[in-house]
Amino acid sequence: MSDVLESPRASVDPGMRRLIELDRNIFREKFNRRQFVFRHHLSDEPLFQLPRLIELARSTAATRADDLYYDAGVQDIGQRWGTAPAAFPVDETINRIEHAGAWIVLKRADSDPSYAALLDRCMSDILEVSGRELERKMRRKEVIVFITSPNRLTTYHIDSENNFLLQLSGKKEINLFRPEDREVTTEQEIERFYSIDTNAATYKPELQHRAEVLTMEPGMGVHIPVNAPHWLKNGDNISISVSINYHGYDSERGAIYRTNHYLRRLGLNPTPPFRSPAVDQLKRPVGVALGRLHDRFRFRLRKP
């Protein structure tokens, strides 16, 4: 592993300033195992100023509606997504962001060529530290933009992607739990997350003391490992942050958890992933097939 991490990405332009500053030793020790903080240089980037984000939001709403999510008035850490719709169109919600109590998510911002170029630069900085081996494992790279009203909560959840969250404007607190803590997140919750319910992770207030609480300020970033539970509380300010993330080609996690979900429904007590390579090898193709069936069925339900 060490020789892979030491290998720089050949395509990085040595004369171009890094946008993301990563420590090689910390990356080697903690990547996708523990959260860690780093610095970035995107806070003054024009692409993330509100007028440009309103333009991006309008384009997303018009051409990629599934890549837009926003709601308003959420006050409960454990509240499910989609239960507090905003009262106004997304561009108007951004114009009213100071008082809207809103949380706006613009997915796949890299569908816009300007954001795609910025994603390439950020990934180059990551790969300069990690080495090209990591690039071969990347299935889908993405930019997600978050615009948040003052004092707004981002509810408790887990994600399936490797995430580098960058704070661009305003301050907020992020509460991060360890991804391997099975009291905080049970095997059944993760199985449901990968199978039928992206809201499956359940906040347990009695375990809040296990969270590491970080104050995110402009210029600061944090790496969030796959399936690391977290929730956020915005400060008394408008917050703009961006996720630079990717899903992995070689990740068996989702497929195995998906298979385990259906085995559990049959009354079995399946072995968690990565305990038995032989068992995982049998489960993986089953989980991949189940995922394809699920995606196909969901697509048919969305068709007019």
Q: 148 and 284, same structural domain?
A: no
Phi and psi at residue 61, to the nearest 5°: -60, -35
Q: Is the pLDDT of residue 46 over 60?
A: yes
Report the percent of the chain where pLDDT is more than 90: 78
Task: Report CA-CA distances (Å) from 99 to 77, 91, 92, 95, 225.
Answer: 20, 14, 12, 9, 32
| pLDDT at residue 205 tops 70 | yes
| Statement to judge: residues 191 and 293 lie in one domain | no
| Average pLDDT score over residue span 190-210 | 96
Does the pLDDT value for residue 279 go beyond 80?
yes
pLDDT bin (cut points 50, 70, 90) of residue 160 is very high
The proportion of the chain whose per-residue pLDDT surpasses 70, expressed as a percent, equals: 91
The one-letter amino acid at 244: I
d(CA 164, CA 241): 10
Q: Which of 248, 278, 294 is the last residue of a domain?
A: 248
* CATH number, position 89: 2.60.120.650
- Do 72 and 144 belong together in one domain? yes
Is there a domain that residue 215 lies in? yes
Residue 142: domain span: 2-7+19-248
Same domain, 71 and 219: yes
Q: Do 98 and 155 belong to one domain?
A: yes
Going by pLDDT thresholds of 50, 70 and 90, the confidence category of residue 178 is very high
Please tell me the predicted confidence (pLDDT) of residue 134. Answer: 87
What pLDDT does residue 206 have? Answer: 98
Q: How far apart are CA 258 and CA 251, in angstroms?
A: 13
One domain, residues 65 and 210: yes
The confidence score (pLDDT) of residue 74 equals 87
Q: What is the DSSP string of 278-291?
A: HHHHHHHHHHHHHH
CB 238 within 8 Å of CB 147 = yes
* 12 within domain boundaries: no
Q: Is the same domain home to 293 and 158?
A: no
Q: Assess whether pLDDT exceeds 60 at residue 109.
A: yes
pTM of the model: 0.89
- The count of structural domains within the chain is 2
